[in-house]
Structure 1
């Protein structure tokens, strides 16, 4: 194959969905989001991708003509904002973000990819919300075959977190072979525990006032690493990664280690909270070394009050987890950087598609693209 199949990443955030696509063999040619702060990580980690700040409720043919310039796109991926459907929030039927579901499919029609994958929260399939999904799907051009929505858990895709998400896939049968979700899901991936994911990471480093410091820290040891830890320590492939982060990684340093200051009384309470239990005041769950991390939440942006989400408590230390620990639990490799500010970093991670779930889905589809391109070349 002369060139990698091309992906457009809508509602891209920091790049979890796009990263899985890249690791599966695709090239992400364009990534669009309205939140420039969340996108800042995409710009650093995907230096060869055209990262665009735009409102996808307003993008039309002119926008895509200018930025794709006639390029044939193989796939469109994206996770429209899920807060309007989330079971964790109010699931407000008047939340304007709910309309963005339809705009995802409207943009698919304009881009005309061979396939698309849409990700959202499990609550989208609840009775009060399902009609909106069905209505949004009616926007799609009839040339797309739409597979029944499925619910996947990130823990079944190799991530050490319980994160159930709705996946909707469609494809143009005239341009590629059928996508077989049963075949994709028959792939058995070993489960990964919290201990396997984060036990090799060192303690947090003190927060400082340098606005450009990403909180560089190190590893405890390289002995007895789990397969997962080894995978997370792997250097990025060509075309991925921030130059500064890659240089630090070569010296055993990775980002996201800034500490969170706790009062002595809070540390005492956290220390007395058994693994797997919930702190009665903060409602934070204490992680279990041999268990999975609960779904990491994003909190809200400045437009919604800048509220921080509750962060899990470390299994053995009386503190909440660091950004790097959260990244490991979500499935991000160690070379991936977020933001010097912890609040923005946790928003990025909590809003993201697990790269491992993305990889699981897109690897099977990538094989179909290879097959289709080989047939065209024959």
Structure 2
């Protein structure tokens, strides 16, 4: 059953919804990306054409930490990888992951309780080719002595701990682009040093714009890649230029306008007639509210979606309908297939979708990795510089 829309914000803002809104800047991280590229002297960072992906020489497997509903897992499976295990603390996101990936070993709980060595032994001690994930890093403390148990940064250190025990060939870590400029770049440097200390030197970082890979959404992500063989750190080359980005309509125009389909999460908060009248007055790029402009903002027609998210009950307004976008429309904009079903309430589904990495982005990252995973798998001494790296032990007590 769908409920009538209630206002989450003060009434004083409701009467101002018809005022002209300032259009949002879709390229809010362009400056960070430009500065990163202009100052980049990383010889290990390589951009790979993934328009015609290479065939994997072996069945490459991965572990997904902080997996959420499974955006990265879905994308890597699409690229031909095998999901060995996932770790997630949210019970509802875990339920979604287990529903869509029933053959993946799944650990639902605090990552501090996850013991990868014990788990690997239980499933036959397979070699892990890749560990991926997006640990929260925004509260990372770099002032003075860093305490791994500090709640602001312990989750990142747990990610590093698991990597140090599993020893995958490659590591891929994603986060928001703003992570690169927190505390004048000191957080970025702390991340690099943490991976260096466990035998993953020469870590690379790049900002990938999701829309560059055919995703109908502006969603830049900071992607860290490292390996323990002294190999290049490959990233997928952009496939589309901005003028060829896919518009929002390309993903959602065939879904029913006002008829929900709960079976595929095509649901949204039902609005009262009065609320719909107010929504009708909101221009593209404008918000229903003046003070809370990140919620109930109308999408631009003919352009990629603004970054989708669930914001305390408020999502974006449909580009031309007088309602907010549905959970399935959000999922389409993230490139989840319609067969991917989200567990929980409509609001919880939107929360999971808004926190996910677009599967298509993860798929392209997987394609970029395959040539170098092939070199390692096919072996060899004259092809791969397997450098012996002294490993400094990380202490997590």
TM-score in terms of structure 1 length: 0.75
Determine helix, strand or coil for the equivalent of 2:153: helix
Partner of 1:36 in structure 2? 91
Aligned pairs for 1:252-267 (under 5 A) are 255-267=264-276
Aligned position for 2:19:
none
Once the 2 structures are TM-superposed, how far is the Cα of residue 17 of structure 1 from its aligned partner? 0.7
User: Aligned pair in 2 of structure 1 residues 356, 314: CA closer, same or farther (>3 Å)?
Assistant: same
Out of 269-278 and 16-25, give the one that drifted further. Answer: 269-278
Residue 147 and residue 288 in structure 1: after superposition, are their counterparts in 2 closer, same or farther (change >3 A)?
same
Q: 1:143 aligns with which of 168, 178, 199?
A: 199
Q: Distance in 1 between matches of 2:184 and 2:95?
A: 32
CA separation of 1:266 and 1:6: change in aligned 2, threshold 3 A = same
Say whether the 8 Å CA contact 1:34–1:55 is kept in structure 2.
yes
CA distance in 2, matches of 1:355, 1:68: 27
1:361 positional shift = 1.0
Greater Rg by CA: 2
Report whether the alignment pairs 1:6 with 2:53: no
> Could you tell me which residue of structure 1 aligns to residue 28 of structure 2?
none
Residues 1:342 and 2:346 are matched in the alignment? yes
Cα deviations by residue, 1:240-260 (Å, 9 ceiling, x for unpaired): xxxxxxxxxxxxxxx012231
Structure 2: distance between partners of 1:145 and 1:77: 17
User: In 2, distance between residues paired with 1:257 and 1:3?
Assistant: 38
Deviation of 1:137 (Å): 3.2
C-alpha deviation, 1:84, in angstroms: 4.3
- Range that drifts further, 45-54 or 316-325: 45-54
Using the TM superposition, give the Cα deviation of residue 205 of structure 1 relative to its aligned residue in structure 2, in angstroms. Answer: 3.6
Work out which of the residue numbers 73, 77, 81 in structure 2 matches 1:26. Answer: 81
Cα-Cα RMSD: 2.7
What is the CA distance between 1:77 and its match in structure 2? 0.4
CA distance in 2, matches of 1:364, 1:70: 26
- State the 1:13 CA deviation: 0.6
Please report the TM-score for the alignment, with normalisation by the length of structure 2: 0.72
The 5-angstrom pairing of residues 77-116 of structure 1 reads 77-81=132-136, 84=139, 96-116=151-171
The alpha carbon displacement at 1:18 in A equals 0.8
Shift of 1:178: 2.4
DSSP 3-state at the match of 1:166: strand
Structure 2 CA distance for partners of 1:325 and 1:267, relative to 1, 3 Å? same
* Residues 338, 119 of structure 1: alpha-carbon distance in 2 compared, 3 angstrom cutoff: same
Q: Using CA pairs under 8 Å that are at least 6 residues apart, name the structure with larger relative contact order, 1 or 2.
A: 2
Distance 1:57 1:151 in 2: 29
Q: Secondary structure at the match of 2:159?
A: helix
Whole-Å Cα distance in 2 between the matches of residues 311 and 288 of structure 1? 14
What residue number does 2:317 align with?
313
Partner of 1:215: 262
Q: Deviations over 1:137-181 (max 9, x none)?
A: 32334532333321111111211111111110001226xx42333
* Residue number in structure 2 paired with 1:232: none
- 1:165-180 aligned at under 5 Å gives the runs 165-173=221-229, 177-180=231-234
Matched, 1:328 2:328: no
Q: Give SS of 1:139's match.
A: helix
**SS in structure 2 of the partner of residue 338 of structure 1:** coil
- Would the alpha carbon gap of residues 54 and 133 (structure 1) be closer, same or farther in structure 2, given more than 3 Å must change? farther
Pick from 302, 314, 338 the counterpart of residue 290 of structure 1. 302
Equivalent pair of 1:24/1:366 in contact (CA under 8 Å):
no
